[in-house]
Amino acid sequence: MFLFLCSFGLIAGFIDAIAGGGGLITLPVLLSILGSGPDAIGTNKIVGASAALVALLVYRRAGHFDLKQSVRFSLAVGVGSVMGSFITPYLPDYLFRWFILILSPFILWLIWQKEIWTRERPPIARSSSKRVLFYGLLAGIYDGMWGPGGGTFMFLALFLGAKMPLMQALASSKLANVCSASFALVSFAARGYVHWGVGAALAAAIIVGAFIGAHYNTRNASIIVRPILVVVTLLLIAKVFLQR
Q: What is the pLDDT of residues 35-52, one digit of tens each?
A: 877 888 889 889 989 999
Q: What is the pLDDT of residues 219-237, one digit of tens each?
A: 887 788 989 999 999 998 8
Higher pLDDT, residue 209 or 2: 209
Model confidence at 172: pLDDT above 60: yes
Confidence bin at 211 (pLDDT 50/70/90): very high
Model confidence at 135: pLDDT above 90: yes
Taking the C-alpha atoms of residue 203 and residue 46, their distance in angstroms, rounded to an integer, is: 7
Confidence bin at 171 (pLDDT 50/70/90): very high
pTM of the model: 0.86
**What is the model's pLDDT at position 214?**
94
As a whole number, mean pLDDT of residues 205-227 equals 90
Model confidence at 130: pLDDT above 80: yes
Model confidence at 58: pLDDT above 90: yes
* Identity of the amino acid at 156: L
| 8 Å CB contact between 185 and 135 | no
**What is the model's pLDDT at position 123?**
60
Query: Rounded to the nearest 5 degrees, what angle is found at the Cα of 29, between the Cα atoms of 237 and 83?
Result: 60
As a whole number, mean pLDDT of residues 4-33 equals 89
* Full domain range(s) for residue 218: 2-242
Q: CB-side exposure of 93: number of CA atoms within 13 Å?
A: 4
Model confidence at 132: pLDDT above 80: yes
Taking the C-alpha atoms of residue 25 and residue 151, their distance in angstroms, rounded to an integer, is: 13
**What is the model's pLDDT at position 232?**
92
Taking the C-alpha atoms of residue 85 and residue 96, their distance in angstroms, rounded to an integer, is: 14
As a whole number, mean pLDDT of residues 190-206 equals 92
**What is the model's pLDDT at position 122?**
64
**What is the model's pLDDT at position 148?**
76
- Count up the domains in the chain and report the number: 1
**What is the model's pLDDT at position 37?**
76
As a whole number, mean pLDDT of residues 10-25 equals 91
The per-residue pLDDT of the chain, averaged, comes to 87
**What is the model's pLDDT at position 60?**
92
**What is the model's pLDDT at position 129?**
83
Q: Which residues lie closer than 8 Å to 43 by C-beta, 6 or more apart?
A: 30, 34, 188, 193, 194, 195, 196, 198, 199, 202
